[in-house]
A and B are shown apart, each in its own frame.
Chain A
Amino acid sequence: MLSAHLPACFFYFLILLLFFKKAGLNFFATLNSIKYFILLLFFIFIARALTVKGDIIFSLYDITITEQSLTEGFLVAFKFFLVMLTGLLFSTTTKPSSVKNAVQWFLKPIPFVPEKRVAVMISLSLSFMPVILKQAKEISDAQKARCANLQKNPVKRIIRLVLPLLKKTFISADRLVFAMESRCYNDDRTDPEFLPSGKEIPFLIGSFIISLSLAWL
């Protein structure tokens, strides 16, 4: 994917759009949710546009913009954008328990890796995201209620949010440990159940065809 050219990227983008539609996700709402990431991509584009040598289009003092720099800047930013969209599509259409089971299955053959523990950790991280986000919202609202939004320094605002959030998260983690221990948690657990959906073979064939098409483009 990262070494792909522009036609391959556009082809992959169209496939992603199709999957977004199929999954019932609003593409523009998704773009809105990653607006800060898109801003980062813009900076990546600028950085590339100013540094790659080639046929000069525009020049002012030491700043030169070349045809190659614009193309390469756009390509790099577009590839990162596609990686982000793929990740979002994956996380919104896959159950955390399926991710956990898959991680456990893939790690099983690797020696010295406690695959069940890693799988539980991933599952806990995913299931605790809503709790942590809710706590962050509560802290933010409590601070807004005391006019914290008048503080314009973003660093100070982040510190005021992050410190109490970290404290709450550690306390919650302590409670979680007690709750898990009280239910006899240990690494030697019953293995997850894999229930085939019947779509595995068409999916494998589809992935193979798409990969071949991308390589050809």
Chain B
Amino acid sequence: MQELIIDINAICHTFSDGYVGIKNISVSISKGEFIILAGKNGSGKTTLLRHLNGLLLPDSGHISVNGHDVSKHLIQTRKTVGMVFQDADTQIVGDTVFDEVAFGLENLKVKRAEINKKVTLILENLNLFHLKDRSPSTLSGGEKRKLAIAGILVMDPEVIVFDEPFSNLDYPGTIQVLSTIINLNQSGHTIIIATHDVETIIYEATRIIIMEKGLIKEDGEPDSIVKYLESYGVKEPCSSKFGLGLQPWLP
């Protein structure tokens, strides 16, 4: 049996305007899993993701990451669970690619020499080192998304959560980001991706969770769930529709 990394137990969250974000969600996530969190817009995917990183705290129920209660160990949680947001433009805070990746480590008061070493290593691993002095605003969509991933990776998280990682990306950008995500999972990171378009990644996933109106409606392996996707407003991949099963999206 795989080791548990995130344990969500009966959490509910209602926003200040009375809108119910998620209701009575319970789910366990093991190390190394590749999970797709699918559902229509407004189904509660982003709200659930933000609880994993401690950006939102549940009104009731509790979440633990590596056995620690998220609400009591926020910094530890954010080091363990990195989050890549949907809009890379509003996530990037550095003036240069290098500064952007260094931001998280500076917040953790890591020594400058170690920051320089770690940032260089991550930039080289993600093939971004040649852009280190560029302003992030001048990068392509795919490069910006990879930069956002680098900014998270440098903090050495075990789980990486992506909110709609392929939105607004062209084909080469999508390939760049998808390859990076697959490599991360193969190197042992637990991946959780919230999306309403599963076609690109369903082949790589080990599990799909479908949400609707703040509730988990389905949870299982992609092969067993794929035929129910459209009943929850998520498009079934073409290959599955044409009877070819799940096919890899990367060429």
Contact = CB atoms under 8 A, between A and B. Distances in A.
Contacts of A193: 112
Contacts, number: 79
B93 A124 contact: yes
A127 interface: yes
Interface string A178-190: 1111111110111
Contacts of A124: 93
A176 B110 CA distance: 22
A17 interface: no
A178 B50 contact: yes
B55 A181 contact: yes
A216 B47 CA distance: 66
Interface in A154-200: 172, 175-176, 178-186, 188-191, 193
Interface of A: 95-97, 100, 123-124, 126-127, 130-131, 172, 175-176, 178-186, 188-191, 193
B111 interface: yes
A184 B104 contact: yes
List the 5 closest A-B pairs by CB distance, nearest first.
A183-B104, A179-B91, A175-B90, A130-B137, A96-B95
B79 interface: yes
B93 A186 contact: no
B107 A178 contact: no
A176 B90 contact: yes
Interface residues of B, number: 36
A176 B87 CA distance: 10
B201 interface: no
A123 B95 CA distance: 7
14 contacts: A95-B95, A95-B96, A96-B95, A97-B94, A124-B93, A127-B92, A130-B135, A172-B89, A180-B93, A182-B82, A184-B155, A185-B107, A190-B106, A190-B112
A199 B208 CA distance: 58
Contact of B78 (A95, A97, A182): A182
Given A183-B155, A190-B110, 15 more contacts: A95-B95, A95-B96, A96-B95, A123-B95, A127-B136, A179-B90, A179-B93, A181-B55, A182-B55, A182-B85, A183-B78, A184-B107, A184-B108, A184-B155, A193-B112
